[in-house]
Amino acid sequence: MVQQSRPSPQSSGPAGRYAGKRARSGPGDGSKAAAIPPPPVQRVFPPHGARDRRSYAAIDLGTNNCRLLIAKPSADGFIVVDAFSRIVRLGEGLAATGRISDAAIDRAISALSVCADKLRRRHVTLARSVATEACRRASNGAEFIQRVYQETGIALDIISAQEEARLAVLGCHALLEPGDGPALIFDIGGGSTELVLVDSHGTTGAPRIVDWVSAPWGVVSLTESEAFDHGDAADRLAAYERMRARVTEAFSPLARRLPKDAQDIRLLGTSGTVTTLASLHLGLPRYDRQAIDGLIVPCESMRAISNRLSGMGLAERQKLPCIGTERADLVVAGCAILESILDIWPAERLGVADRGIREGILRGLMDRDGRVM
């Protein structure tokens, strides 16, 4: 039986209500890197004697995707026992109306109902479910959270941009290339992009977060800000450059604080953008997580792919393997964001992670429950 407290509008949004398209920055802007309070969780008490068979779950409801991961602890981390992912486009039209639309709510609740069924069938012991930029920004975000709870039993926590960045680092830092130089870890989402400067020198666990910024541009919000798919190639190129200019401006607070002329710099990205472009780099006929997660790609190759995609029309992009109709309209915005990151952090190679917030949640839950080996 699930024991939980009903989420309240006052407590569901630690970051406060979104106020305009302004990048949120970390320690470098003069604010303290405050400790993150323990997150709200949903707990299921297993039958007597079942402690060693506990299952943990993480749900990440983003601006574009709804993702679930269920896992059990193992000697070297955890073993995934079930997963689910569906594109729900929760933030579709949000930039124009300031609200999550009824159609987007229906899509999200449908996906979360599937998640709730999996939680029950897998006898999940402890779960944490988070919502990110779309719910932070929407005027009806708290109302949506209440409806999700009433219809699915899932208690979503609208997390702050700082917590989103921390979870992404916790979930994917193990894929950083070895080295003592500074590293930039980024997560290109649907509604925002988090850049996190980390220092792993002398650490055995998660690297220390030195600085961070959350820019209010993700693949959905940036696509909706700029009509891109013009018939004329020159018009598409001009639109792409305007996208890049918007992102560059949002990254500028962190860019000014990044170390200059640093040696042995490293770069790691987690998002559908980087995994899709990495698939194109390898020429895969279909997406293969085993081939992509942990791959190291030359940054120049990622730039070349981005430039090629930005010159294509929508119909051309839809025909490419690993893009298809679901990602074709959003991938160009992801390319613009990626190229802007490469501009401010000119690493030679990019590490690609098909992991992030969900894995960070699972590690946090297992650590709190004393199950990390």
Q: Are 150 and 207 in contact (CB under 8 A)?
A: no
State how far the Cα of 189 lies from the Cα of 170, in Å rounded to an integer: 16
DSSP 8-class letter at 35: P
State how far the Cα of 154 lies from the Cα of 44, in Å rounded to an integer: 12
Higher pLDDT, residue 32 or 55: 55
State how far the Cα of 118 lies from the Cα of 104, in Å rounded to an integer: 22
Higher pLDDT, residue 295 or 24: 295
For 37, other C-beta atoms within 10 Å of its C-beta total 8
pLDDT tier, 333 (very low <50, low <70, confident <90, very high otherwise): very high
Helices and strands, number each (H, E), in the chain = 14, 14
Say if residue 338's pLDDT is above 80: yes
Tokens 């604010």 sit on residue? 31
Tens of pLDDT, residues 245-266: 999 999 999 999 999 888 899 9
Domains and CATH numbers, the chain: 2-17+39-159 (3.30.420.40), 172-356 (3.30.420.150)
Say if residue 284's pLDDT is above 60: yes
- pTM for the full model? 0.86
β-pairing, 208-215 with 24-25?
antiparallel
3-state DSSP assignment of residue 194: strand
pLDDT value at residue 43: 58
The residue length of the chain stands at 373
DSSP 8-class letter at 290: H
Tens of pLDDT, residues 118-154: 999 999 999 999 999 999 999 999 999 999 999 999 9
Assigned token pair, 293: 């997660």
State how far the Cα of 202 lies from the Cα of 355, in Å rounded to an integer: 24
List for the chain the helix, strand, coil content (%; round to 5): 40, 20, 35
Q: What number is the average pLDDT over the span 228-232? A: 78
Say if residue 36's pLDDT is above 90: no
Say if residue 33's pLDDT is above 50: no
State how far the Cα of 359 lies from the Cα of 346, in Å rounded to an integer: 27
pLDDT value at residue 34: 38
CB under 8 Å, gap of 24 or more: what pairs does 240-249 form? Answer: 240/310, 240/332, 240/335, 240/336, 243/332, 243/333, 243/336, 244/336, 244/339, 244/340, 246/217, 246/222, 247/193, 247/215, 247/217, 247/222, 247/336, 247/337, 247/340, 248/340, 248/343, 248/344
Say if residue 35's pLDDT is above 60: no
Residues 6 or more apart in contact with residue 57 via CB below 8 angstroms: 68, 69, 70, 71, 118, 119, 122, 124, 126, 127, 128, 129, 362
3-state DSSP assignment of residue 342: helix
State how far the Cα of 187 lies from the Cα of 355, in Å rounded to an integer: 10
Residue 330 identity (one-letter amino acid): L
Q: Are 157 and 132 in contact (CB under 8 A)?
A: no
State how far the Cα of 338 lies from the Cα of 148, in Å rounded to an integer: 33
Say if residue 72's pLDDT is above 60: yes
For the chain, the C-alpha Rg in angstroms (whole number) is: 20
